[in-house]
Amino acid sequence: MDYHEKAFEYAGETVRQVLTLATGVIALTVTFAKDIIEPGSCALPWMKWGWALFGTSIFFGILTLMAIAGQLNDAAKNNTTPDMYAPNIKIFANCQIWICFIALVVTIRFGVIGLNERQHQPRVPPATASAAPPTTTQPTAVMTTQTAPTTSTQAPVATSTSAVRTTT
């Protein structure tokens, strides 16, 4: 194996490592986003930008692997030495790495904002069974007034009924 083949092998491996990093960070933030931020959080746009940038980095990583494969294929067809620094490989690889770096910075910012918001929220202690006052049932009298269809000389009749009302 000569140095050119080894260089292409390492370049491809580096691209795959950055692809793995990007997809792993997306998977982790999707999984644990609900534990870091609340709906309507100021950190939400940072998270979305991070995902978009990681997705773009993944796209450029795939283009880089395709450019490497194309360069190796052209060199094999033409019986020439492959050029590791071909413009298509350099452009795609640089875009992948720099966009992934920016996405990492944005994602770290998202985490810091989200955790700071959670830290500054007022903590409400969970309700326990012993903290609630007991509910008592006491009978109380309820006065109702019934009006019967009568002539104009009769007054309404008041009746007393017993009812159970729950008080706390």
| Domain co-membership, 44 together with 108 | yes
* AA letter at 53: L
Token look-up 């998202």 returns 110
| Domain co-membership, 14 together with 46 | yes
- Residue 103, pLDDT score: 97
| Domain co-membership, 13 together with 95 | yes
Give Rg (Cα) of the chain: 36
Range of the domain at 147: 133-167
Domain-located, residue 127: no
Domain-located, residue 155: yes
Domain-located, residue 126: no
Using alpha carbons, select from 91, 95, 93, 4 the residue that is nearest to residue 56: 95
DSSP E strand boundaries for the chain? 136-146, 157-167
- Residue 66, pLDDT score: 95
| Domain co-membership, 8 together with 90 | yes
pTM above 0.75, yes or no: no
Give the dihedral sign, CA 91/96/98/103.
positive
- Residue 81, pLDDT score: 86
DSSP string, 94-119: HHHHHHHHHHHHHHHHHHHHHHHHHH
- Residue 132, pLDDT score: 56
| Domain co-membership, 61 together with 93 | yes
Give me the tens of pLDDT residue by residue for the chain, a chain 168 residues long: 688 788 889 999 999 999 999 999 999 999 988 887 888 888 889 999 999 999 999 999 999 999 999 999 998 899 988 888 999 999 999 999 999 999 999 999 998 988 888 777 766 666 665 555 556 666 555 555 555 555 555 555 555 555 555 555
